[in-house]
Amino acid sequence: MRIAVSAGGLIVRDNKVLLVKVTYGANKGLRMLPGGFVEEGESFEEAAVREVKEETGIHAVPKRLIGVRTGLKEQPNGSEHGIYFIFEMEAISGDLAADGAEISEVKYVPIADVLADPQIVGLTQEIVRSYQHANASSGLTRSTADIQTNNHYLKYNVYSLSE
């Protein structure tokens, strides 16, 4: 079994969600949250930051973990377990710019339109729906505590419920 791990980000500004229009694969022509595969040596957070920047031109930082998608799908050479971490992110700098290869368009879309548009990927709609109805302090936030472990980690992050 192959394991594919990806990360992405939800950025909301003025009650609008930053979405990308994908040019390839099963979601070709549809809009979704920016994100992609985690590369070797990257943390999930680093992958989300990189993917959002590559796909949208926006430098953003993770605020909290707001969703996890898991799934198992058949592939020609067996099965693939997919894990996708979705972070609420804060835009820091940059100008909207599609990469022109994987992404044909980047724009902020009003939340009501995201929830009603059949050209928006279902997972994106579910994440936006849950974000819209959640308490602002819900979700998992990254701990700032110095946590001691008995293992040697190159990178180590713990997400837990806010107090």
State the catalytic residues.
105
Give the Å distances, CA to CA, from 146 to 45, 61, 87, 157: 18, 21, 22, 10
Amino acid at 85: F
- Token pair of 158 as six digits: 């713990």
**φ/ψ of residue 154, rounded to 5:** -75, -35
Element holding 47 (H helix, E strand): helix 44-56
- Token pair of 137 as six digits: 């302090």
Query: Within 10 A of 32 (CB to CB), how many other CB atoms are there?
Result: 21
Amino acid at 163: E
